């Protein structure tokens, strides 16, 4: 059973988890409570559990990003894909002021919300841009992925021709070949849906802060509840620099998603995909984080 939000308002857990970010996160919490439901950022049932479900859950990603930074010994660039209401990107920017965080969101009303939050919380290290993740992918990465896809398809068609020839020889006709991979529809909804009706097309999409330089590739890419890994791999891994890392907040089906997406991850030069438990706070249920390294 979820902890009621009021019980956490004065809890020392907040300071323990959020540290110096507690003050801006209190402002974020209050804005979500005042406006979140009306503006479609959170659901009506979330009003009593904003701390646990959204802010502390997002903060669970912070140690993974921090570990990645300490390993590289540098100030990192982070892209939060499908930022939506700011989970985990806003929380990450508040907790790690040494990071440059780019909040990537295609929907206009959410971009407006994100920019308001960045301004009200005085997050000088956060930039909001209105784009789809795939519009940020460098052309060189797109070409590499297309090459890998064509090579894979060529090998697949070659195998298929050999099988069909064998089928004709044995049965005097071409057999009906079923796909060797199950094509089950994934039941996970894309919470931060890429709504093309609110986007004015391709690379010309307006940036909220177009005067700031946006890197072509990032040290870390984060996301929460955006899409299943079969889609997410193609949206996020091409945005990573070599030896960068995807850090995605996921639910209990994380390992099953990774298993389904193995080929897509490899095609996008991802390696060592794994699921880690991520503590939220003492006494609260852990969440899951998917980590994928970029070759």
Annotated binding site for S-adenosyl-L-methionine: 82, 87, 133-134, 224
List phi, psi (to 5°) of 210: -70, -15
Q: How many CB atoms lie within 10 A of CB 285?
A: 12
Q: How far apart are CA 64 and CA 278, in angstroms?
A: 9
Q: How far apart are CA 41 and CA 113, in angstroms?
A: 9
User: DSSP code of 52?
Assistant: I
User: DSSP code of 187?
Assistant: -
Closest CA to 105 of 72, 83, 75, 74: 83
Torsion angle defined by CA atoms of residues 141, 145, 148 and 151, in that order, rounded to the nearest 10 degrees: -120
Structural contact between residues 93 and 101, judged by C-beta atoms closer than 8 angstroms: yes
Alpha helices in the chain (DSSP H): 5-9, 12-18, 22-35, 50, 57-59, 62-72, 89-95, 108-120, 133-136, 139-171, 229-236, 254-260, 262-267
Closest CA to 87 of 61, 122, 119: 61
Structural contact between residues 86 and 55, judged by C-beta atoms closer than 8 angstroms: no
Q: How many CB atoms lie within 10 A of CB 10?
A: 8
* Sheet of 218-224, strands arranged across: 126-129, 100-104, 77-81, 218-224, 240-250, 287-294, 270-278
């Amino acid at each position: 059973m979820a902890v009621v939000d009021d019980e956490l308002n004065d809890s020392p857990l907040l300071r323990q988890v959020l540290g110096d970010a507690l003050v801006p996160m209190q402002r974020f919490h209050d804005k979500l409570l005042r406006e979140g439901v009306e503006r479609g950022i959170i659901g009506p049932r979330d009003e009593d559990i904003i701390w646990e479900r959204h802010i502390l859950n997002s903060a669970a990603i912070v140690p993974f990003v921090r570990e990645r930074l300490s390993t590289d010994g540098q100030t990192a660039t982070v892209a939060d894909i499908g930022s939506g209401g700011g989970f985990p990107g806003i929380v990450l920017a508040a907790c790690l002021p040494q990071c440059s965080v780019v909040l990537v969101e295609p929907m206009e009303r959410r971009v407006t919300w994100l920019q308001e939050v960045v301004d009200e919380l005085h997050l000088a290290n956060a930039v909001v841009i209105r784009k789809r993740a795939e519009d940020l992918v460098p052309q060189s990465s797109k070409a590499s992925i297309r090459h890998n896809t064509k090579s894979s398809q060529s090998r697949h068609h070659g195998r298929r021709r050999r099988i069909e020839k064998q089928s004709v020889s044995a049965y005097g006709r071409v057999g009906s070949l079923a796909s060797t991979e199950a094509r089950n529809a994934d039941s996970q909804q894309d919470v931060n849906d890429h709504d093309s009706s609110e986007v004015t097309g391709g690379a010309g999409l307006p940036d909220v802060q177009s005067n700031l330089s946006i890197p072509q590739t990032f040290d870390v890419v984060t996301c929460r509840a955006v899409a299943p890994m079969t889609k997410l791999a193609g949206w996020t891994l091409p945005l990573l620099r070599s030896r960068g890392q995807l850090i995605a907040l996921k639910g209990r089906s994380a390992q099953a998603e990774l298993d389904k997406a193995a080929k897509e991850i490899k095609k996008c030069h991802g390696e060592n995909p794994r699921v880690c438990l991520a503590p939220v706070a003492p006494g609260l249920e852990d969440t899951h984080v998917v980590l994928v390294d970029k070759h």
